[in-house]
Amino acid sequence: MKYVILGNGPAGVSALKAIREVDQAGDITVVSPETWRYYSKILLTHWIAGKVRFPDLFLVDEDFYEMNGAKTVFGAAATRIDPARKAVELSNRQRLGYDRLLLAMGSSPQVPDVRGIRLPGVHYLRTFDDAERIAQATSSARRAVVIGGGLVSLKTAEGLLARGLEVWVVVSSGRLLSQITAPEDAAAVLRIFKEAPGLHILLNCDVTRVEGRGRVERVLLSTGQRIECDIVVVGKGVTPNLLCTRGTGIATGRGVIVNDRMETSVPGIYAAGDLAEGFDIARGSAAVNALWSSAVWQGRVAGYNMAGRDVTYAGDVAMNSVTFRGGCIVALGKTRPADGDEVYTLTTRRSDDSDYARLVFRGSRLAGAVLIGRAVETAGVLRSLIARRSDVARIKGDLLRGRMSYPCMVKDVAGLCALVAS
Ligand SMILES: Cc1cc2nc3c(=O)[nH]c(=O)nc-3n(C[C@H](O)[C@H](O)[C@H](O)COP(=O)(O)OP(=O)(O)OC[C@H]3O[C@@H](n4cnc5c(N)ncnc54)[C@H](O)[C@@H]3O)c2cc1C
């Protein structure tokens, strides 16, 4: 059996391991335009900050592919899939035949439509090469502008601050982390970032222009403000890499549409990770959840099925976390309530008000939560209640009194925060 895996991230590598578990003899080829072995994207901003050593970024040894009997084509991207001939064309003009193909090419950063956005000194953070360029730029830079107030932008801002830069985070929306929290969380979220020395958060404004002679020197904002800066990092979200699915008959929506075996609409072709629409338990529907854990799990399910073991993907619950200078925010499942959902906001009576939880219930089930401060200790338990679709009617009172351990006995967090329901 010939397997081709497009992508060397968590989805691709998990699939490779799963295939090998089932089929020790099959021919496996992993393709990636990057030349590095499998590494952690989650650690990239910590590496920029100088808190993680270069070798610690890597998640497998150098001989990993060889030990797993897999060939690699690194430094080349898939450019075209030909399902009729069961072949993939690569940017280096190679053509690979397959019996089973996995699409695990992840996503790419969105490029905002802003004049000057292509000037040298404007960066994106998706790969190790991107991180290296940013780290290099920080050695001579003093002032940075980060465009976007999402998870990657805020992590990047923390990395740049750790390098001693003064950082402006420019956010279109009126709040930070707007994709994973709700308007009512805005003040509690902002409190985590507000007092950081060297960090300026500018809400409700856009970068309208990037200027400089030959490279970035300043940005202009929709408010009329000008910020002199040496680098700009754009974090305005990502788009699934669907280019080579065009004209193939592979059904796509926001991402590649898959069934619970991670099969696409074209026989023999599977998809997993950031480019796939996997089942989201909290929403009760398919969604592109750009999460490391979903990519690992989906890749594994795809790999097993590609190799002939029948396994289904039960779905995942989105869990995003951001730590910033000792503060922590976790967003779980469905954080924006729909009609009929019940919402409870819990805050501490402590003067700094730093512990916060907002729980979203749908009927007798927990659907989502935003947790800040010591409330994040309960994230694992709450995630598991959402993932198992547990009937929480019996323990709802405990949850709302802050006894969010499962089943309210593992560890009593109520004493931590004299929580009050509002
Ligand atoms: C800075 C940063 C911080 C993050 N922090 C978190 C976090 O804290 N928690 C979390 O859950 N998630 C986090 N994420 C998101 C997480 O990294 C992704 O959800 C995850 O990597 C998706 O895995 P994937 O295998 O689908 O795609 P990727 O990891 O993006 O891997 C895609 C692979 O496909 C390759 N590829 C691209 N195009 C082609 C092509 N045409 N042909 C062949 N190969 C191709 C790429 O080179 C790469 O090897 C973070 C992401 C970034 C960038």
The CATH number that applies at residue 74 is 3.50.50.60
Distance in angstroms (rounded) separating the CA atoms of residues 258 and 195: 44
CB 292 within 8 A of CB 42: yes
Same domain, 92 and 8: yes
pLDDT of residue 406 exceeding 80, the answer is: no
- pLDDT bin (cut points 50, 70, 90) of residue 276 is very high
Output the 3-class SS for 206-261. Answer: CEEEEECCCCCCEEEECCCCEEECCEEEECCCEEECCHHHCCCCCCECCCEECCCC
Boundary residue ending a domain (261, 277, 306): 306
Same domain, 96 and 25: yes
Is residue 321 a part of any domain in this protein? no
Q: Cα of 195 to ligand 1 centre, how many Å?
A: 31
One-letter amino acid of 402: G
Closest CA to ligand 1's atom 15: 291
Domain of 366, CATH number, reads 3.30.390.30
What is the average per-residue pLDDT within 305-329?
93
CB 76 within 8 A of CB 94: yes
Domain count, the chain: 3
Strand 87-90 relative to strand 78-82: parallel, antiparallel, unpaired? antiparallel
Closest CA to ligand 1's atom 4: 42
Portion of the chain with pLDDT greater than 90, in percent: 80
Distance in angstroms (rounded) separating the CA atoms of residues 365 and 368: 9
Same domain, 13 and 80: yes
Portion of the chain with pLDDT greater than 70, in percent: 94
Residue 83, pLDDT score: 97
Mean pLDDT of the chain: 92
Closest CA to ligand 1's atom 50: 42
Supply the range of the domain harboring residue 95.
Answer: 2-108+239-306
Strand 27-32 relative to strand 276-280: parallel, antiparallel, unpaired? unpaired
Is residue 396 a part of any domain in this protein? yes
Residue 349, pLDDT score: 56
Q: Cα of 133 to ligand 1 centre, how many Å?
A: 18
pLDDT of residue 131 exceeding 80, the answer is: yes
Same domain, 220 and 257: no
Q: Cα of 137 to ligand 1 centre, how many Å?
A: 23
pLDDT of residue 42 exceeding 80, the answer is: yes
**Inter-axis angle of helices 128-138 and 151-162, to 10 degrees?**
40
Same domain, 279 and 222: no
Same domain, 136 and 210: yes
Q: Give, for 201, the enclosing helix (H) or strand (E).
A: strand 199-202
Q: Cα of 88 to ligand 1 centre, how many Å?
A: 21
Q: Cα of 126 to ligand 1 centre, how many Å?
A: 7
Same domain, 11 and 89: yes
Q: Cα of 106 to ligand 1 centre, how many Å?
A: 5
Is residue 375 a part of any domain in this protein? yes
pLDDT of residue 378 exceeding 90, the answer is: no
What is the average per-residue pLDDT within 373-379?
87
φ/ψ (deg, to 5) at 318: -60, 130
What is the helix, strand, coil percentage profile of the chain, to 5? 25, 30, 45
The pick from 269, 292, 316, 319 for probing ligand 1's pocket by mutation, whose C-beta has the most ligand atoms within 8 angstroms, reads: 292
Q: Cα of 292 to ligand 1 centre, how many Å?
A: 8
Is residue 314 a part of any domain in this protein? no
Residue 202, pLDDT score: 97
Same domain, 259 and 223: no
Structure confidence by residue, pLDDT tens digits, 43-75: 999 999 999 999 999 999 999 999 999 999 999
Nearest to 124 by CA among 44, 194, 46: 44
Output the 3-class SS for 263-302. Answer: ECCCCCEEECHHHEEEEECCCCEEECCCCHHHHHHHHHHH
φ/ψ (deg, to 5) at 294: -65, -40
The pick from 42, 65, 79, 245 for probing ligand 1's pocket by mutation, whose C-beta has the most ligand atoms within 8 angstroms, reads: 42
CB 413 within 8 A of CB 371: no
φ/ψ (deg, to 5) at 27: -95, 115
Q: Cα of 274 to ligand 1 centre, how many Å?
A: 7
Distance in angstroms (rounded) separating the CA atoms of residues 181 and 6: 33
What is the average per-residue pLDDT within 408-415?
39
CA geometry: angle at 380 spanning 13 and 181, to 5°? 90
Residue 353, pLDDT score: 57
CA distances from 212 to 27, 299, 380 (A): 51, 43, 47
Is residue 116 a part of any domain in this protein? no
What is the average per-residue pLDDT within 403-416?
42
Residue 398, pLDDT score: 78
Distance in angstroms (rounded) separating the CA atoms of residues 126 and 235: 9
> Which residues line the pocket of ligand 1, CB cutoff 6 A?
6-12, 31-34, 41-42, 44-45, 77-78, 104-106, 125-126, 152, 155, 241, 244, 273-274, 290-293, 295
Same domain, 128 and 57: no
One-letter amino acid of 136: Q
Closest CA to ligand 1's atom 39: 105
Boundary residue ending a domain (195, 212, 234): 234
Residue 409, pLDDT score: 33
Is residue 113 a part of any domain in this protein? no
Same domain, 102 and 243: yes
Q: Is 78 helix (H, G, I), strand (E, B) or coil?
A: strand
Q: How far is CA 95 from the centre of its chain?
A: 31
- pLDDT bin (cut points 50, 70, 90) of residue 418 is very low
Boundary residue ending a domain (181, 207, 234): 234
pLDDT of residue 403 exceeding 80, the answer is: no
- pLDDT bin (cut points 50, 70, 90) of residue 289 is confident
Q: Cα of 184 to ligand 1 centre, how many Å?
A: 30
Same domain, 228 and 288: no
Is residue 29 a part of any domain in this protein? yes
Is residue 337 a part of any domain in this protein? yes
Closest CA to ligand 1's atom 40: 77
Lowest mean pLDDT among 308-312, 322-326, 361-365: 322-326
Neighbours of 394 (CB within 10 A): 11
Two structure tokens written together for 217: 């020197």
pLDDT of residue 416 exceeding 60, the answer is: no
The pick from 274, 294, 313, 320 for probing ligand 1's pocket by mutation, whose C-beta has the most ligand atoms within 8 angstroms, reads: 274
What is the average per-residue pLDDT within 180-184?
92
Same domain, 16 and 98: yes
Residue 195, pLDDT score: 81
Structure confidence by residue, pLDDT tens digits, 332-375: 999 998 889 999 988 765 555 578 899 999 999 999 999 998 88
